[in-house]
Structure 1
Amino acid sequence: MASLGPRFLTQGKVCAKNVLRSPLLSAALPSCTQVANLRSVNNPFPLPPRKKPFTHRYNIFWQLLDSPIPRMNENSIVVVVEGNIGTGKKELAKKLAEEFDLKYIDPIDYDQLYIDKNCMPGFDYRIINSCSPERVMFNSLDTFWATEKVQENPLILMSQFEMFHLRWHSYLKALVHICNTGQGVVMPRNVYSDIVFCYAMMKKKLFPRRVYKEFENYVDNAMKHLWAPHLVIYLDATPAYCLKKIKDRNMSYEVNSPILKDEDFLSYISEGYDKILLPQLEEESEVLVLDADNLPDFDLLVEELEQFNFNPFRDSLLRDEKFKQWRHTHERSWVSFRLWADSSAADVQACPRPATMLQIPEIQLKEEETFVICDYLARMKQYYYNVQPGEGGVAGAVKRLFV
């Protein structure tokens, strides 16, 4: 908190006004309110309009001109909705997004995993499976849920590493969104879900224990760079309830899956939440547990959520772990994080692509498989054209500097 003093002295009333406007930072000054509660859009005292969102790529030039602090308000928080398969996470997350003016972020799916968006936009790598020498190289939901033993489809291990990588990147961009717009986010089935899911796969013998330990190390190294969510809503449900919901929604790859033929896999997921994830999140975030089979009336839930105090400075004098990553009393801290998070080096440093992890042979392609992919792509690229980054001359260079 001491760092606020010199900033006020050097930048005067403008800076003080910006900081005072943010309830998330107001507790740094004893004269300000010590409360930061969610506020519904239907609240009789609505939140004031935010400053215009920042829409450029944040870089060393923009750090001199743009601050996230004036955009922050009570709803500038991260909410994650967790729970077993079939508990209604998406439905609840969408309702919360609408009620509190939060950005709803769709979960990552297999289409995002294997459909190219850069070199050959729209190209689906799963097409190459037809040329595969002996095994599935790029999994779909059908091939994933059809796997009974890891020997039948060993590259589901690669799929899980890749899925975690994409979800980690999605969560990081959600944090950047808050810095750029001040709007909070709500996410179902996010990066935290993969920790539990892979634990269940290990218990189901779909993840060898040695590879699971490598996955744990990969996760630990990546997660320490992210700021924990403010609120975790866990939809608790029995495996029998989840199995019934899976059958009710009648997706063929789930209904016919040998993994989901009984309650074992669902029990392992619940065990992972109870033993691993929720105790960890409870130290850094507010955790609200709801019965998925008997959810409270939504209006009552909104009232309860409005009672939570998400002030990051609330327990700082007690050295509490809650919201510790959000306790930034100086703009330099926000600038450092935004510069790193909005750069292309972020995932390389913190969460490298699994394909680069050569020390785990179980998630690597064989030599003949790599040859098949390279040969197929070489033939396909003649039908694609992508604008090179160096094009555009001086005008393009100036645009890339500021955008």
Structure 2
Amino acid sequence: MALRVIRRLVPSGAAAIKAGSTVHTARIHCAARRPLQYGWLAYILGERTTPRLTQNSRIITIDGSLASGKGALARSLADKLGMLYLPEAGVHYLDRATGEAEPLHTRFNGNCSLETFYRNPHAPDGNSYRLQSWMYHVRLLQYSDAIEHLLTTGQGVVLERSPFSDMVFLEAMFKQGYIRKQCVEHYNEIKNISICEFLPPHLVIYLDVPAEEVQRRLQQSGQAHLQNVPLAYLKSIEEAYKKSYLPSISEHAELLAYDATQAHDIERVVEDIESLKFVKGQWAEQDDTSYHYMRMLVEDKPMVASLTCVPNFLPEVTIGAHDVDEAFYAYKSLPGKRYAPGFNMDAGDKQVWLK
């Protein structure tokens, strides 16, 4: 599978949580720096998760259509509640998470393009489904980053969308004829074997902005590839939210919905959140043992990435073994990618022979 390449490239551990974040490191004599990760030994020695959790130790996702104001609400809410804000995962999420100075070529990021999708959603090379498949992949990685941060620090996380709501775009694409039925089946198979490993967010906040208003905002954004997004596609996204995702997620997580005007009243939103009892879902049933296993999973990014790989042939996302090796060695030939960080003279690392 095309996404199988990522199993070799994806970072592991807390390095992927937030670009530029401080990572505690250790040195053994002159060895290279390495992150101190949570593991069995820490659990055996008595480290527990529940003592650091507070009433704001929650995962909150802000959902809605394109240009609905999710980012503004998420940032304001994170600031108000003292939580970590994670921007929406994009095609180049891994580049941002690993601190790349410049985004890498698309061949190392799902081999897909968001701009191409909006300009030509019927592209014959399968870009539309390749994009959707990749977006689910990076959203799953980001969600694991959010849970890792929550369990490691006790600080809650606010993020835009999640792998649980990603399916609204799949339904809209299929309804508009952008992808084939086989793509839907492939996506559902991947989702069914991966999403079950994670608990849904504690709270989902939905911004209800009509499709007509969304299209107007996109046209005013000034971005060329967003000028001609079909209204029918935007209505399909809205319909998928209201008929599929929201009724389903409301059974497992708290749900709040606001229109564009109400979302600006951050004080009201905070009051509504504080009035919730958070009794839905399985978060209330967790203990230190289950948190331990959860934490072991989410810090193992290659393991999380492997959950999205199934050995089924689908032309849109399948590449041959030779192409996989070519992409891998092309990645390794990039400056600073051949060896571990700190050991690449071509990237300006000094005194490599002393490390």
Query: TM tier, shorter chain?
Result: 0.7 to 0.9
Letter in 2 for 1:74: Q
3-state SS of paired residue (2:158): strand
Match of residue 38 from structure 2: 58
CA distance in 1, matches of 2:151, 2:260: 32
Letter in 1 for 2:167: I
Q: Map of 1:2-401 to 2, 5 A cutoff? A: 56-64=36-44, 65-112=46-93, 122=102, 124-126=104-106, 138-151=111-124, 153-255=125-227, 257=228, 260=229, 262-295=230-263, 297-310=265-278, 312=279, 322-328=280-286, 330-344=287-301, 346-347=303-304, 351-353=307-309, 357-365=311-319, 373=327, 377=330, 381=333, 383-384=335-336, 386-388=338-340
Displacement of 1:231 in angstroms is 0.8
Q: How high is the TM-score relative to the length of structure 2?
A: 0.77
Letter in 2 for 1:352: T
Q: Deviations over 1:283-316 (max 9, x none)?
A: 0111111112553622222222221112x4xxxx
Match of residue 37 from structure 1: none
Displacement of 1:358 in angstroms is 3.8
Q: Deviations over 1:52-79 (max 9, x none)?
A: x998311111112311111111000111
- The question of whether the paired residues in 2 share the 8 Å contact of 1:173 and 1:341 is answered with yes
Displacement of 1:142 in angstroms is 2.1
- The question of whether the paired residues in 2 share the 8 Å contact of 1:84 and 1:266 is answered with yes
- The question of whether the paired residues in 1 share the 8 Å contact of 2:136 and 2:163 is answered with yes
CA distance in 2, matches of 1:204, 1:339: 40
Displacement of 1:371 in angstroms is 8.3
Pick the structure with greater CA Rg. Answer: 1
Displacement of 1:155 in angstroms is 3.0
CA distance in 2, matches of 1:382, 1:92: 38
3-state SS of paired residue (2:270): helix
The alignment covers a number of residue pairs equal to 309
- The question of whether the paired residues in 1 share the 8 Å contact of 2:48 and 2:288 is answered with yes
CA distance in 1, matches of 2:226, 2:96: 22
- The question of whether the paired residues in 2 share the 8 Å contact of 1:126 and 1:140 is answered with yes
3-state SS of paired residue (1:109): coil
- The question of whether the paired residues in 2 share the 8 Å contact of 1:116 and 1:125 is answered with no
| Structure 1: 5+ residue stretches without partners | 1-52, 130-136, 313-321, 392-403
- The question of whether the paired residues in 2 share the 8 Å contact of 1:114 and 1:138 is answered with no
| Structure 2: 5+ residue stretches without partners | 1-23, 26-34, 344-355
Q: Deviations over 1:358-382 (max 9, x none)?
A: 432331236896687578x28x717
CA distance in 1, matches of 2:272, 2:147: 25
Q: Deviations over 1:75-124 (max 9, x none)?
A: 00111000011110000000000000011011111223678959x98572
Match of residue 398 from structure 1: none
Q: How high is the TM-score relative to the length of structure 1?
A: 0.68
3-state SS of paired residue (2:197): coil
Displacement of 1:385 in angstroms is 5.1
Identical counterparts, % of pairs:
23
